[in-house]
Amino acid sequence: MNIDDDKNNDFFEDEVPDPVKEEKKPVYTPDDPRYWEQPEDPFSHLRTSRARTRRMWWWAALTAVLIGVLVALYIRYFVPTVSEAYETGYVDRIEKSGQLLKSYEGVLLPYKNLMDTLRPYEGDLRFSTTDTDVAVQLKKMHFANLPVRVHYKVYRTDVPWRGETKVYITAVDSVNPRDILPPDRQPEFIKSRMNAANENKEVRK
């Protein structure tokens, strides 16, 4: 092999031929008869058309909006703003109401509002419940004129199947008046004060 043979042809200095450009196949529309004469592409069923892609995006957006609406409705009507709360007071009224969906509606006079003589009365606690056992306990305490401690939840809005108010009573406990009344409001203390006042009047007479 002669080393000088490479000197005759310098491949780096030769002109590089231009790449052969493939001719673009004409694209026919369904209106053109030649469109139906083209050979069928075996992978055409795997390709999605623009209309199909647009339709898929529309369905995805609609599904997302629907899920968002359902979540918002669930939060508004089924998720309480206050999941656990307590109030102590006296049952002023409780009644069964409703045409198709029955519920028990009542009013509780909060103890803290009744005993606060410095500030104006803040109002009653209006409540609802559909639990018959809870309603029976509230009626018993109402007839006995005894204080109760109610457990309740507060929702964003009232619904017919839950009652006419946003406050829903879940449980009721009995309360000893001596545990919630201050010493100067205890029945024994008030009776002793009244007896002492009556004795002073008799002495003056």
Q: Determine the average pLDDT of the residues in 79-97.
A: 91
Q: What percent of the chain has pLDDT over 70?
A: 65
Between 36 and 124, residue with greater pLDDT? 124
pLDDT at 46: 58
Q: What is the mean pLDDT of the chain?
A: 79
Long-range contacts of 138-145 (CB under 8 A, 24+ apart): 138/91, 138/94, 138/104, 138/106, 138/169, 138/172, 139/91, 139/94, 141/91, 141/172, 141/174, 142/90, 142/91, 142/92, 142/93, 142/94, 145/90
Q: Determine the average pLDDT of the residues in 128-157.
A: 93
pLDDT at 182: 58
pLDDT at 135: 94
- Give the pTM: 0.60
Cα separation, 167 vs 86, in Å, equals 11
64 pLDDT more than 90: yes
Q: Determine the average pLDDT of the residues in 27-54.
A: 70
Give the type of residue at 169.
I
Q: Determine the average pLDDT of the residues in 1-23.
A: 58
Q: Determine the average pLDDT of the residues in 44-67.
A: 81
61 pLDDT more than 60: yes
Identify whether the C-beta of residue 126 lies closer than 8 Å to the C-beta of residue 103. no
Tens digits of residue pLDDT in 102-132: 999 999 988 877 666 666 666 789 999 999 9
